[in-house]
Amino acid sequence: MLKVAIVGASGYTGAELLRILVGHPEVEICCVTSRQHEGLPIHQVFPSLSGFCDLLCEPLDVAAIAARADVVFTALPHKSAMEVVPGFLDAGCKVIDLSADYRLKDQDVYQQWYQPHTSPELFAEAVYGLPELYAEQIRSARLIANPGCYPTSVILALAPLLEEQLIDPKTLIVDSKSGVSGAGRGVKLGSLFCESNEGFKAYGIASHRHTPEIEQELASLAATDIRLSFTPHLLPVNRGILSTCYADLLETKSSDELLDLYRQRYADEQFVRVMPGEQLPNIAYIRGTNFCDIGLVSDPHTGRVIVISAIDNLVKGAAGQAVQNMNIMCGFKDAIGLGIVPMFP
Amino acid sequence: MLKVAIVGASGYTGAELLRILVGHPEVEICCVTSRQHEGLPIHQVFPSLSGFCDLLCEPLDVAAIAARADVVFTALPHKSAMEVVPGFLDAGCKVIDLSADYRLKDQDVYQQWYQPHTSPELFAEAVYGLPELYAEQIRSARLIANPGCYPTSVILALAPLLEEQLIDPKTLIVDSKSGVSGAGRGVKLGSLFCESNEGFKAYGIASHRHTPEIEQELASLAATDIRLSFTPHLLPVNRGILSTCYADLLETKSSDELLDLYRQRYADEQFVRVMPGEQLPNIAYIRGTNFCDIGLVSDPHTGRVIVISAIDNLVKGAAGQAVQNMNIMCGFKDAIGLGIVPMFP
Amino acid sequence: MLKVAIVGASGYTGAELLRILVGHPEVEICCVTSRQHEGLPIHQVFPSLSGFCDLLCEPLDVAAIAARADVVFTALPHKSAMEVVPGFLDAGCKVIDLSADYRLKDQDVYQQWYQPHTSPELFAEAVYGLPELYAEQIRSARLIANPGCYPTSVILALAPLLEEQLIDPKTLIVDSKSGVSGAGRGVKLGSLFCESNEGFKAYGIASHRHTPEIEQELASLAATDIRLSFTPHLLPVNRGILSTCYADLLETKSSDELLDLYRQRYADEQFVRVMPGEQLPNIAYIRGTNFCDIGLVSDPHTGRVIVISAIDNLVKGAAGQAVQNMNIMCGFKDAIGLGIVPMFP
Amino acid sequence: MLKVAIVGASGYTGAELLRILVGHPEVEICCVTSRQHEGLPIHQVFPSLSGFCDLLCEPLDVAAIAARADVVFTALPHKSAMEVVPGFLDAGCKVIDLSADYRLKDQDVYQQWYQPHTSPELFAEAVYGLPELYAEQIRSARLIANPGCYPTSVILALAPLLEEQLIDPKTLIVDSKSGVSGAGRGVKLGSLFCESNEGFKAYGIASHRHTPEIEQELASLAATDIRLSFTPHLLPVNRGILSTCYADLLETKSSDELLDLYRQRYADEQFVRVMPGEQLPNIAYIRGTNFCDIGLVSDPHTGRVIVISAIDNLVKGAAGQAVQNMNIMCGFKDAIGLGIVPMFP
């Protein structure tokens, strides 16, 4: 059994890692940490887990954890993650970091959007953990930078078009909508029920920190510089991201032709479901699962293609993708522990 | 007292007309019609109205209603509206039609998107009832084509930029999100609670019937042909439309410069609120009211402007705008009966 | 114009007082206080109020406020209220206190459920501000203890039965459900969107602080001691309380007979709507208004009556009732400023 | 592999049977029926199931289905179920009926609450499929009457107290709240999003059809006649039932003593989780799972006990319990295929 530790277990991402890993047949969770709930059984922090996990929340002691764990999931805020990741690596653990700390390849860009970085020497080694793009590198990685939730939804939506150079990269516009769990479990005014319920708004227009991450990966796919309009919105649901992506087509292609391209591109990817015909993704169809559903329309009226993707921000956008990465790193089957059937309604 | 009739009172738009008009100091509601609930007091159809309106639902008898009413609000589906509107006009009533039947100026376009039209001779006379653009014509109109909900949100968002020719009309993309009441009170699978709640999806991509209406009005403002990408989405809230509009700027303008332009353009429009500084609209701030809140960001990174507008689809997007039109047609003050303070949360 | 101050304006109750009072024809709001937002215009704290109120948030300076205000609404937590209420009274203001500090008549009971009280000498003077029971005393009061939200819903539901001694007081069970705004705007884990949305739970069983307040008032109506089972639940909606009340009937009465009794009892009370026939209250029918809707069923199978009441916890359960009290104290018509028509949906 | 058919697969209960059974290691789904969607792949009816089930919806042909299936789940409305259940039994299938048609033991009671019954001769044979009470009989049953959702939540909440004769059966009051999926997937006004969202109401007071079913089972446990006050309410969530049960204690017992009793009673029942100490159930903690969470408070102030149970109406209240019954009937382990970890949030 693989021994895994979850560092930062009392947030929603931590809870989701636990939900998935308690049922994983090859894994034993050996440690959960939470500063805030130290000493409390994790099933009192999350009563939903009652009967599934009796571990007590521990303080974050790198050496003590590294002595017991083979793989460490760091579900900490950016900056907090970089304070412990190098220690876990030095102690011989594999690390899957769910923060933003190792996702950007360019230190200047990181420091412009976040703050000074204390271990930029790891940038070259860290593998961007999007298995549909980087499975080979993930297989042999020590450090995975688990992708952001918005970037996952956008990159999977646009990769086939950019790889085939079918769209004009200068015209890319992404309008994304995320459920409230994307803001985490921290107590702040904007996350209150009454501030979000029956509301809807954009935020962080032209300034959201996921923008450089998306641009980096799309630029790599397009082999050209990318400047993106990215507008995130706050959706009054618990979970789910839907991204609506617009681009000018460089040559005329029908919806069916483009859907065929997507089906080919993702034929071997069991977590990408290309919707049939005119069906469009809905976050209700992938809730709780590691799927990314994709649909699209080619519009001859404007010459644009509109691609829509839906993921669960806590699963394919965080914990599920992290477990998918772990499976690949450890030689398990990709989907093991992730065969959750979507619950509808 | 002005005598008004509400034809088609048992839908959400009808209920909203009642909510607003029972408190209007210059109006007496003389008739409500509903085929489905004929003979039932309207406060049993909508118990919320208990104590405010005791009228019984009548059948739709044009002559009988015209004999009593000065102004008729037709809150019927398209096609049903055109069957009765000419009759009301012939009988001397003023008509405010909330359907799509008299909004398009080009009969071919109407028939391409809807079905054959039986009174196209009224197209020239019908005034598109967006007071922020057409107050003068509304003042003397007999027939108002009350704008669609999406078009209201989009036209108000983009008018100042198009009037000043600050954006490239070929780059217009509108990503809209509407609450479920936009689908009406008809019983259909897609409107069920469990089909929408905790869900989010796009629908009618590149094929929504509000597209030609938006294009007609934007083209008139821009004095050029417009082809728009318009993507509506279904938002799991009762009310509210938020439209996120993207366009390439033709010259560099800062957010503050553009906000100033909006403030000037709408200085005399009491139902348009331009948000201060970096604040962005939220459908939670205008719920139940006739306001259109607008905010924007000019993004030097991409050279685009992103404009966001929020309205209540049942008020500024339907019943409230209809009453605003009535006020103008009848020489009342614009805002009379519409001074509703937004309820938050 | 009556000059009023709102002390503690940045909570949901404060916002609701503002929503109601900005449209009140006899009132001028002269001051709003908020420690947290001192110096900020209140319409930036609540953008919904943009265009309706430009006041800046002030610190809580009793003397400075009392010099300007005729009536002071204290929308503070219990304990904070008692620190300022005596000062406002001494300075000649009328005070409507929305906290629990002056609702209980028995100092021991207060101190058992809350903490030591520093001005118990005001208990005798404070009038429990439920106009349907105490209009006469309210008229001449200096200090109103504005009732709790749950107590308002329960007392109005049960008063007619207890006054007529139709039910056995020992069998009273009240099962109440409240929207999340009842927990206030303070940032705490339990009020987060993701902790409440799609959830439902009871809390404070047999230990909620509104229990002694309800028992005090029901005992007064029944002229006998009352011990109540009171179970509040947290409902995933913004607003609304629905209380389901159970009691054994002392004599056989049909639903119609009991409804007649309720109609008589509340014939002169314009904010109580007794539902016709078999219709039952729904919080959706009174949202945003000062109404208390009541329905009931007499069940011959068990010999019990089930009474259901619905109020908006922020209006009839707080700010609306406070304004109703102000109207009575100041000789205005009861309903002035409170004629809000319910918005549905 | 056990061959199972799902008759009536296009409702929410059918979808839930599919969600659970596609992952069941001992089962092969051989047939799904839907009159409405005949010929359509079930994953187009429920896109959530895309990739999990490719079966086409068949018409309901008893002989054709019986020739292929070992076990038939009938997820039909009452009355429709009794039209096909005898045929499946005659053809040698085991039947798990999710309707109300075989739950009541007394034909008169059935006919009083529903309509004439055409196969009352099966009443004696049908086993009420609540495994926590009737596991032994389920093991050898041909026909399971799968319990109603409300009854499941109430019987599990009260069984230990009634078995031990700790409460006065004459004082039983049950206040239940159910998510909207309990009303099924049929299109009707009351199930529309805008009619339920942000609303809350009671319905069917003293007249809900689950009342006789609950009374039958509680009477059997108590060995005395039971007359219950049962009040269902409609909760604006997709899934979940929370039942708050009140009864007078016949002898003084503390919360801890009663919780111990519950823990003993349900020690071997893996789907009943007795909450620790003062923790109370929340439908958010059991969503999507077959758990029934139970908590309670003994209140010395009134001498009553308040017991609260939470289930997912579509799982333990329908499809999950049906699969649990199948597992027992077929000699599988109780929990096989039902080991779903609750998703929070």
Catalytic, D93? Answer no
Domain B150-312 matching CATH 3.40.630.30: the answer reads no
The answer, yes or no, to whether residue B331 has pLDDT greater than 90, is yes
pLDDT of residue B234: 98
| Type of residue at B83 | E
Pairs of CB atoms within 8 A across A/B: 147
Query: B47 vs C181: CB contact, 8 Å cut-off?
Result: no
A positions 23-82 inside 8 Å of B (CB): none
Q: What is the mean pLDDT of chain D?
A: 97
Question: Which residue carries 């002392």 as its tokens?
Answer: C250
* C46 interaction partners in chain A (CB closer than 8 Å): none
- Each domain of chain A, given as residue ranges in start order, spans 2-147+316-329, 149-313
- What band does D17 get if pLDDT is binned at 50, 70 and 90? very high
Q: How confident is the model at residue B334 (pLDDT cuts 50, 70, 90)?
A: confident
Residue-wise pLDDT tens digits, C314-336: 999 999 999 999 999 999 998 99
φ, ψ for residue C335 (rounded to 5)?
Answer: -100, 0
Chain A residue nearest residue D50, CA to CA? A273
pLDDT digits over C102-120, tens only?
999 999 999 999 999 999 9
Q: What is the structure's pLDDT at D209?
A: 96
Q: What is the pLDDT of residues D206-250, one digit of tens each?
A: 999 999 999 999 999 999 999 999 999 999 999 999 999 999 999
Q: Could you read off the pLDDT of A212-226 as tens digits, one per residue? A: 999 999 999 999 999
Q: Which long-range contacts (CB under 8 A, 24 or more apart) does A251-255 make?
A: A251/A166, A252/A300, A252/A303, A253/A166, A253/A298, A253/A305, A254/A298, A255/A296, A255/A297, A255/A298
Torsion of CA B108, B113, B116, B119, to 10 degrees: -70
Where residue B80 falls among pLDDT bands split at 50, 70, 90?
very high
Question: Contact at 8 Å (CB) between C163 and C218?
Answer: no
Q: What is the pLDDT of residue D334?
A: 85
Residue D191 pLDDT exceeds 90:
yes
Backbone angles phi, psi at C131, to 5 degrees: -60, -30
**How far does B307 lie from chain D, in Å, by closest CA?**
28
Return d(Cα D87, Cα A126) in angstroms, integer.
63
SS3 for D263?
A: helix
pLDDT at D277 over 90: no
Candidates C153, C198, C305, partner chain D, best to mutate (most D CBs within 10 A): C198
Sign of CA dihedral B138, B141, B146, B147: negative
Mean pLDDT over the full length of chain C: 97
Query: B73 forms bridges with which residues in the sheet?
Result: B6, B96
Distance from CA of D176 to the nearest CA of C (A): 10
Over residues A52-69, the pLDDT tens digits come to 999 999 999 999 999 999
Fold of D149-313: Dihydrodipicolinate Reductase; domain 2 (3.30.360)
Strand ranges (E), chain B: 2-7, 27-33, 57-58, 71-74, 94-97, 127-128, 143-145, 173-179, 201-202, 229-235, 241-248, 272-274, 292-299, 304-311
| Spatial contact of B344 and B285, defined as CB atoms under 8 Å apart | yes
Q: Which two tokens stand for residue C274?
A: 């007794």
* Tens-digit pLDDT profile for residues D35-60: 999 999 999 999 999 999 999 999 99
The predicted pLDDT at position D278 comes to 85
CA separation for the pair A162, A185 (Å, rounded) = 35
Minimum distance, in Å, between the CA of residue C191 and any CA atom of chain A? 6
Chain B positions in Cβ-Cβ contact with residue A288 (cut-off 8 Å): none
Average pLDDT value for residue range D163-187: 97
Cβ within 8 Å of residue B220, ≥6 positions away: none
Look at residue A277 and tell me whether its pLDDT is greater than 90: no
Contact assignment for D302 to C227 by CB distance below 8 Å: yes
Hey, is the C-beta of C246 within 8 angstroms of any chain D C-beta?
A: yes
**Do residue C236 and residue A193 have CB atoms under 8 angstroms apart?**
yes
Is residue C310 classed exposed, middle or buried when 0-12, 13-18 and 19+ CB atoms within 10 A define those classes?
Answer: buried
Distance CA(C257)–CA(C298), nearest Å, equals: 9
Cα-based torsion angle of the residue sequence B230, B235, B239, B243 in order, rounded to the nearest 10 degrees: -30
- What whole-number distance in Å separates Cα of residue A292 and Cα of residue C262? 57
**Residue pairs between chains C and D whose CB atoms are closer than 8 Å:** 147
Nearest by Cα to B181 from A5, C324, D63, C344? C344
110-169 in C: which are within 8 Å (CB) of D? none
Q: Which of D173, D301, D306 is the closest to C246 by Cβ?
A: D173
Give the Cβ contact number of residue C30 at 10 Å.
18
> What pLDDT, on the 0 to 100 scale, is given for residue D14?
97
Best of C279, C283, C336, C341 to disrupt the B interface (most B CBs within 10 Å) is: C341
Q: Is the pLDDT of residue C291 over 90?
A: yes
The pLDDT tens digits of the residues spanning A129-153 come to: 999 999 999 999 999 999 999 999 9
Determine whether domain C150-313 maps to CATH 3.30.470.20: no
Does D191 reach chain B within 8 Å, measured CB to CB?
yes
- Kindly list the partner chains of chain D, i.e. chains with 3 or more CB atom pairs below 8 Å: A, B, C
Chain D residues with CB inside 8 Å of C304's CB?
173, 229
- Does residue B148 carry a pLDDT above 90? yes
pLDDT digits (tens, 9 = 90+) for D93-125: 999 999 999 999 999 999 999 999 999 999 999
- Residues C144-168 pLDDT 10s: 999 999 999 999 999 999 999 999 9
CATH number of C2-147+316-329: 3.40.50.720
